[in-house]
Structure 1
């Protein structure tokens, strides 16, 4: 029997609006459960492109295959609602480091999006005319976090981690990791931008997370970083180009519950 993750109710994550309207000063983050009945993944499958179906078939474990189909199906459904297009009519293109975008849309009001999923939970961020990145990680309790931090994080971040009690280091490590990943994904540069070349704060509960790039302070000022309370034992972060935007957190309907 496969493990099924059920997201508990949370007032932060609101039900979808009747009309999908997205202003240039708005950022919408959607949360979805990927563990759905077989009938749900089967309904999504016809909306996927041929290359997505091929990729789905390459997964060895059925759970991973079903989650992939649902993740792509929900993405297409969300974008289709904003664009007033059928999900199967959407075409994606990819940047040099794999960042997805809608093919053929290049004006200032173009819908931008990003996706992250981990162990049965997915987050989707959608904006208009702003670059965005999102990262979601389930906390792993058997990971040697200080060894990984010393290998990949900046010296300042490692020093901050070392000042924390051992019982707080793991949570802070994942806060740091997701914040750095969200920023890299927003820039679309993948790991060509080394993780140790910029700093993020590790503090929880900040309304806006500090970002530091010593070689280019102006670049750091172009971005906003936010922490997202995704679910129990998960950590998530959001990076958005610019400031002065409004965040809405929305829960994708779960027909399986």
Structure 2
């Protein structure tokens, strides 16, 4: 399926793909696809590298660098990209973990209290929603979870309002959790090619953007 950015729109693209045992190669492939889509160039012209801090870089051999972010978990790699400003993405697999104990150790008191108030069967999901949001916001800020990033307050996941919600104390930064398809079908947030990633329903994904964006396009590779 061909994909191209719409001129004049600041759309955030999120690409999901399998690693097939070679995570770096899968990430480079999705980064080139992101570069081709948003920079309007052939994927063979897209250069992929890293800056001095280890963050991914994408360009087409000119002065225009594409803001991108990469995350991976258990056989899956995710790339987020946009033309209009900073972006961060994080993905985790749903799995059993001691959500309340981890929240008491790492999260702000009000977030740990919110998590404790969730029904027992929803606490792991709630923990991962907060965790991925914090990771994505840290990447959009360019400093990860350094300087107390795990205690940086996040907007409550799943509440009423827009998909991307303002992050307290960060200016124009917003974060949310695009709805992923349970089995590779349309997710409702953008085009999903046929034969997509069947494992998407096992994932929790957070997306952070610096400033307003026109929408989110989700592409299962």
Q: Quickly name the TM-score band, shorter chain normalised.
A: 0.7 to 0.9
Are residue 74 (structure 1) and residue 62 (structure 2) matched? no
CA distance in 2, matches of 1:183, 1:22: 26
Query: Contact between 2:131 and 2:150, CA under 8 Å: does it hold in 1?
Result: no
CA distance in 1, matches of 2:73, 2:100: 22
Normalising by the residue count of structure 2, what TM-score does the alignment of the two structures yield?
0.77
CA distance in 1, matches of 2:48, 2:77: 20
Aligned to 1:60: none
CA distance in 2, matches of 1:244, 1:80: 20
CA distance in 1, matches of 2:125, 2:133: 12
Structure 1: runs of 5+ lacking an equivalent: 1-14, 36-62, 214-218, 253-257
CA distance in 2, matches of 1:80, 1:245: 19
From 206, 209, 221, give the equivalent of 1:240: 209
Normalising by the residue count of structure 1, what TM-score does the alignment of the two structures yield?
0.67
* DSSP-derived class of the 1:199 partner: coil
Aligned to 2:93: 138
Runs (4+) off by over 6 Å? none
CA distance in 2, matches of 1:155, 1:211: 17
The structure whose Rg is larger is 1
Are residue 127 (structure 1) and residue 82 (structure 2) matched? yes
Residues 58-137 of structure 1: pairs in structure 2 closer than 5 A: 63=21, 66-83=22-39, 84-87=41-44, 90-96=47-53, 98-102=54-58, 110-137=65-92
- The Cα offsets for residues 128-161 of structure 1, whole Å up to 9 and x where unpaired, read as 13000001100121x2122221121111111111
**Larger helix share, 1 or 2:** 1
* Structure 2 CA distance for partners of 1:203 and 1:191, relative to 1, 3 Å: closer
CA distance in 2, matches of 1:195, 1:80: 32
Q: How many residue pairs were aligned?
A: 198
Structure 2: runs of 5+ lacking an equivalent: 181-199
RMSD across aligned C-alpha pairs, in angstroms?
Answer: 2.5
